């Protein structure tokens, strides 16, 4: 005779919900947003169905709607005009730049929205790299100085946290010290501590035109600074260093193919963990759903729940708005 039957706790939805270990809510989401120049402008991103580049006015409108749905944080990316790009990234800390004006507009219109601007030079670089280039190499320390200036300008505009996604060595400490010296002691750092050189970033790079340029004199990919996807221990090493340097939140990117890394980092540290459900992961679900191969709504919720089950505290996802609507039902 069987005394212990696990199926007793699966008999119906009410029982299943009573013993459910992982609960997904709108409080878990950070919505990445693409911003472009202009007014009353919106452009669809073909490789990311349902996602758009918007001018500041329409971005503010979108943020109001997100907040009303319970999504209380956004992660900002700029589509920078070609004539503003160079090898120094100086447009990134322009006090009247697109990023800075976007941050101000969102905070003025939706004060409760947590604004996390991306900190990296690739949208501002003529080469599409996350750092300053000299003699065919990415300069680590010179790039860190630029990232610190960029972060301070974001804080001046009203950012709640800055999110360096560049993967330069030591940049968290340089940014933390710059923020402290400038009086922004309450501005946090979401450090992309374990960001892998991944094939899943393709749709994102097309959205911002930020892919490395095919120039024989510069690296054709980002493998000299982003992590090798074969490695696990290296990720923990990166995480521990960023914790020591003053990171407030640790990011793992990409998401679904790296849930093992999320789980291992969760076991190793007590800081909040973010995970990025990246553009390629989004595009695959949308493509499969449009072809009738997957149920769009069920797959979204299952995917996002998996991130929390693995140990993430917050999820950067292009599904944030859609998932919020589903959860609110």
SS3 159: coil
What tokens does 72 get? 């209380």
Contacts of 208 (CB under 8 A, 6+ apart): 34, 77, 78, 79, 80, 122, 123
**271: closest CA among 191, 168, 171, 172?**
191
Give the integer Cα–Cα distance in Å for 198 and 200: 5
Active site residue 195: yes
Contacts of 12 (CB under 8 A, 6+ apart): none
Catalytic residue among 85, 222, 253, 264: 253
Q: What angle do CA 103, 107, 113 make, to 5 degrees?
A: 105
238 is in an annotated binding site: yes
**Residue 163 bridge partners (DSSP):** 118
Cβ(298)–Cβ(305) below 8 Å: no
Give the HSE-up count for residue 258: Cα atoms under 13 Å, Cβ half-sphere.
31
* H or E element, residue 30: strand 29-35
Give the integer Cα–Cα distance in Å for 66 and 76: 14
Angle 320-328/296-310 helices, nearest 10 degrees?
100
**265: closest CA among 315, 194, 190?**
194
Catalytic residue among 195, 264, 286, 308: 195
**Residue 316 bridge partners (DSSP):** 30, 276
Give the integer Cα–Cα distance in Å for 58 and 157: 19
What tokens does 173 get? 């400490």
Strands 161-164 and 188-195: what pairing? parallel
- Per the annotation, where are the binding residues? 238
The residues carrying an active-site annotation are 195, 253
Residues that constitute the known binding site for Mg(2+): 238
């Amino acid at each position: 005779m069987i005394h212990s039957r696990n199926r007793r706790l699966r008999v119906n939805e009410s029982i299943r919900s009573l013993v459910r270990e992982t609960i997904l809510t709108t409080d878990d989401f950070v919505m990445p947003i693409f911003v472009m120049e202009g007014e009353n402008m919106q452009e669809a991103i073909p490789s990311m169905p349902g996602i758009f580049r918007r001018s500041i006015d329409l971005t503010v409108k979108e943020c109001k709607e997100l907040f009303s749905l319970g999504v209380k944080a956004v992660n900002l990316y700029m589509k920078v005009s070609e004539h503003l790009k160079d090898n120094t990234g100086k447009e990134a800390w322009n006090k009247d730049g697109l990023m800075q004006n976007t941050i101000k507009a969102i905070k003025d219109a939706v004060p409760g929205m947590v604004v996390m601007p991306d900190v990296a030079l690739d949208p501002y670089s003529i080469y599409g790299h996350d750092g300053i280039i000299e003699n065919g190499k990415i300069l680590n320390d010179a790039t860190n100085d630029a990232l610190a200036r960029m972060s301070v300008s974001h804080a001046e505009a009203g950012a709640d946290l800055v999110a360096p996604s560049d993967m330069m060595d030591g940049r968290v400490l340089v940014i933390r010290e710059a923020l402290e010296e400038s009086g922004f002691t309450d501005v946090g750092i979401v450090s992309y501590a374990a960001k892998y050189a991944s094939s899943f970033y393709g749709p994102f790079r097309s959205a911002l035109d930020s892919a490395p340029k095919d120039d024989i004199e510069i690296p054709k990919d980002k493998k000299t600074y982003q992590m090798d996807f074969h490695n696990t221990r290296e990720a923990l090493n990166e995480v521990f260093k960023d914790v020591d340097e003053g990171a407030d939140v640790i990011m793992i990117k990409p998401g679904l193919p790296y849930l093992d890394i999320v789980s291992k980092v969760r076991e190793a540290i007590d800081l909040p963990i973010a995970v990025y459900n990246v553009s390629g992961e989004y595009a695959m679900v949308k493509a499969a759903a449009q072809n009738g191969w997957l149920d769009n709504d069920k797959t979204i919720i299952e995917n996002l729940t998996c991130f929390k089950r693995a140990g993430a505290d917050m999820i950067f996802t292009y599904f944030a708005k859609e998932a919020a609507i589903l959860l609110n039902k």
